[in-house]
Amino acid sequence: MTHVFVAPHPDDVALSCGGLIASLRELGQTVTIITVFSGNGATRTLTPYQREALGFGSKAIWPTSEAFNRSNVRADRPLDPAVDAPYLATADRLDATQGEADSAAKRFWQRSSWYRRADIHNRPLAGQALMDDVPQQGAVLTDALVEAKAAGDLMAARRLEDERFAYFAEASIVFLDLPDAVFRGYEGDDQLLAMPRPDDRAPIDLLVREIVRLEPQKVYLPLGVGNHVDHQLMREVGVALLELGRRWVMPGPEYAGIVTYYEDFPYAWWDDFRRIENLPEGALAGVPADVGITPDYADISDMLDRKIMGIRLYESQLDRLFGGADAMADAVRGYGAKVAGLNGRSGAAERYWATSHL
C-alpha cells in the first residue's frame, strides 16, 4: 500500500504521525511525504510552467536508503586513480547490476504514475539532466542547500531537517516550496491562528494533482487543531478530495475511506484536544453530508522512542516549540499516553479521523 502524508511545513508529519510512519515502514508499506509550505517566498512569482521546469513539485526525492542514495555507496577497497580503472567489474557484471537496480526502482515506484530509472553509472539518460545536478532532485544534503543553510536561510535549514527525517524514516518526499504564511503577509499569532484571508486560497489543484499522481490507498492531512492558517488550508484540500467524485458527470474518483485527518501535535497537546467537536464551528462544514468521520487509533507503544528520535532531527524547532529536546520527549510521551487513554488503553497511541460513507 502507498500512504501519502501531507505536511503543511517541515516537521508537521514527524510531530503528528511519526509513530504510524515507523509502523507502516516496519510492515513494508510505501510512505511518501508531501511538504507544502517549504519555500521562502522567492517562488511566489513563478508560473506553473516555471515551477515544473525548475523541478518544484514535479518529482519526489528518492528514498534515501543504501539502495538509492549514491553517497552511501563506498568502494570495497581503497582505489588508486593512477592504477585502477574507473570500474573494475566486467561488462556483464555491470549489466547484471544495472538490471537489479532497475528492478528495485520499478518495485518502489509500482504504485506511482511515473517512474525514474536507477543508473549505476551516474550518467544522464535520454538527453536528460543528471538528477544529482538538478536542485531538489538529487541526493539529500546537496551542496547548494547546505550552503544556503550556512548563509542563514531558515527555510533551507528546515528543509535539510525534513530531508534527514525522510532518510531516517525511509520515506520518499516531495517539496512543493510554496511560501510559508509568514511570507504571505501573516504577522503574529492573532493572524496566524485566525481564519485565512479571503485572498489566500488553498492550493487545491496543485495538491490534488500531486496526490492523484501518487495513487495512494490512504492520504493523511492535518485536522487543523490549533487553527494555524496553513493547516486550515490543508484541511480544505481534504474536503476538496472528498468532493472530487461529485464534480464528474459520470462517477468519479472516490476518496471517502482514503482521506484521513491527523491531530496536529503539539497543538492538540497544548489545547487538550479530546473530541472533534473541539474544532472551531464550521471547520468541517464542507465535508459531504453522506461522509462520516470517526476516530481511529494507532498503537505506537513500540515505536514511541523512534518517533522521538525522528523529531529530534528538527533541531531548529525544539527550543521554539518545547524548550529543548528533553521537554519534547516528555511531551511526546505524555500526549501518546493521553491518546491511548482516550481509547481505554495503556501505552502510547496516535489518533486519526478516518472518513467513510454513512
Which of 135, 154, 188 marks a domain boundary?
Answer: 135
The per-residue pLDDT for 105 is: 67
Verify that 239 and 90 share a domain, yes or no: no
Verify that 243 and 291 share a domain, yes or no: yes
Verify that 237 and 351 share a domain, yes or no: yes
In DSSP terms, 352 is beta-bridged to: 262, 296
Amino acid at 141: L
Helix (H) / strand (E) element for 57: namely none
Which of 120, 135, 150 marks a domain boundary?
Answer: 135
pTM of structure = 0.74
Domain that holds residue 123: 67-135
Which of 89, 118, 135 marks a domain boundary?
Answer: 135
Verify that 141 and 131 share a domain, yes or no: no
Verify that 236 and 166 share a domain, yes or no: yes
Verify that 117 and 266 share a domain, yes or no: no
The per-residue pLDDT for 43 is: 46
How many whole angstroms separate alpha carbon 178 and alpha carbon 9?
10
Verify that 323 and 272 share a domain, yes or no: yes
Phi, psi (rounded to 5 degrees) for 298: -105, 120
3-state helix vs strand vs coil in the chain, percent to 5: 40, 15, 45
pLDDT tens track, the chain, 358 positions: 899 999 999 999 999 999 999 999 999 999 999 999 987 765 445 445 444 433 344 334 444 444 444 444 555 556 666 666 555 567 777 777 777 777 766 665 554 444 455 666 666 666 655 555 554 444 445 555 556 555 556 777 888 899 899 989 999 988 888 988 888 888 878 888 899 999 999 999 999 989 988 889 999 999 999 999 999 999 999 999 998 866 555 555 789 999 999 999 999 999 999 999 999 999 999 999 999 999 999 999 999 999 999 999 999 889 888 999 999 999 999 999 999 999 999 999 999 999 998 8
Verify that 23 and 82 share a domain, yes or no: no
Give the chain's count of helices (H) and strands (E). Answer: 12, 7
Verify that 56 and 80 share a domain, yes or no: no
Verify that 170 and 272 share a domain, yes or no: yes
In total, how many domains does the chain have?
Answer: 2
Verify that 18 and 165 share a domain, yes or no: yes
Verify that 223 and 318 share a domain, yes or no: yes
Residue with cell 521546469: 53
